[in-house]
């Protein structure tokens, strides 16, 4: 049976001192944990955190990757560079990237491809806005977003992690009910099954305001294989409680 994957997204938070204290607390509290864990940190802290998680069960993750391999792309960071920093995971297509940086489904598909080619596991985010959910378009939206990634990456699709993050539940304190989350996860699993015989071993994470109090019920759902955790990943007791629930 596959282990649950709990990935923390620090977003634009952290400092050298705070990072060291947080990782120290996570390492101490994770002894004997039965889930996989990753922390996705701001790019400037990748080297520091790579040292902090060395010889631990915590995987290092980045929050974005370039769609290009190299060249005149000021401010961009390639997948090969991330790999050289010891990165194992990278978040691709987070709703904040789509919203604030205009990332399209096609861009997300190419970024996924670049990560896979460099040996970095992409955590591909899909999810609908409140307006899309209220219009009954949830399934249409998430299937369209995932279809672009499947189309571009073909048989390699079994190597990705998918994260369902209802945009209306990110940072709002609102959470999809376990039944709502499971319903979308089941849709995504079926779509992956149509693309690869290995879909059952793939992780589909829930990523909308998962916290210490709701994690156990969400993680008990059949097709929820872990969480992509935002604010709660910055507090060691909360993040460890979610890991314990997994």
Q: Which residues are annotated as a binding site for substrate?
A: 9-11, 171, 209, 230-231
Is 94 one of the catalytic residues? Answer: yes
First and final C-alpha spacing in the chain? 13
Taking Cα atoms as reference points, which of 67, 122, 75, 118 lies closest to residue 94? 122
Backbone angles phi, psi at 161, to 5 degrees: -110, 140
CB neighbour list of residue 163: distance below 8 Å, 6 or more residues apart = 7, 91, 123, 124, 125, 126, 204, 205, 206, 207, 228
Of 96, 103, 128, 165, which residue is the catalytic one?
Answer: 165
Q: What CA–CA distances, in Å, run from 22 to 18, 25, 41, 230?
A: 6, 5, 12, 14
Is 132 one of the catalytic residues? Answer: no
Buried b / exposed e across 1-22, counting CB within 10 Å, b at 16+? eeebbbbbbbbebbeeeebeeb
CB neighbour list of residue 12: distance below 8 Å, 6 or more residues apart = 42
Of 94, 103, 185, 203, which residue is the catalytic one?
Answer: 94
- Say how many C-beta atoms besides its own lie within 10 A of residue 125's C-beta: 26
- Say how many C-beta atoms besides its own lie within 10 A of residue 147's C-beta: 15
Taking Cα atoms as reference points, which of 156, 199, 200, 162 lies closest to residue 184? 162
What CA–CA distance (Å, rounded) separates 130 from 6?
A: 25
Question: Would you name the residues annotated as active-site residues?
Answer: 94, 165
């Amino acid at each position: 049976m596959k282990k649950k994957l709990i990935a923390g997204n620090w977003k634009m938070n952290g400092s050298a001192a705070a990072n060291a204290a947080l990782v120290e607390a996570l390492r101490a509290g994770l002894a004997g944990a039965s889930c996989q864990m990753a922390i996705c940190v701001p790019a400037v802290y990748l080297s520091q955190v790579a040292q902090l998680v060395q010889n631990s069960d915590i995987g290092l993750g980045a929050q974005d990757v370039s769609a290009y391999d190299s060249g005149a792309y000021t401010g961009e960071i390639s997948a090969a560079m991330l790999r050289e920093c010891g990165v194992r995971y990278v978040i691709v297509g987070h709703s904040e990237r789509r919203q604030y940086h205009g990332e399209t489904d096609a861009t997300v598909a190419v970024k996924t491809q670049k990560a896979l080619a460099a040996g970095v596991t992409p955590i591909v985010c899909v999810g609908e806005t409140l307006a899309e959910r209220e219009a009954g378009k949830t399934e249409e939206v998430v299937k369209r977003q995932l279809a672009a990634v499947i189309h571009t990456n073909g048989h390699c699709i079994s190597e990705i992690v998918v994260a369902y993050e209802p945009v209306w539940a990110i940072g709002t304190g609102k959470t999809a009910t376990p039944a709502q989350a499971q319903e979308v996860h089941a849709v995504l699993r079926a779509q992956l099954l149509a693309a690869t015989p290995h879909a059952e071993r793939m992780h589909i994470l829930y990523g909308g305001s998962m916290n210490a109090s709701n994690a156990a019920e969400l993680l008990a759902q059949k097709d929820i294989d872990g969480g992509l955790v935002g604010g709660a990943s910055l507090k060691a007791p909360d993040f460890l409680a979610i890991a314990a629930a997994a």
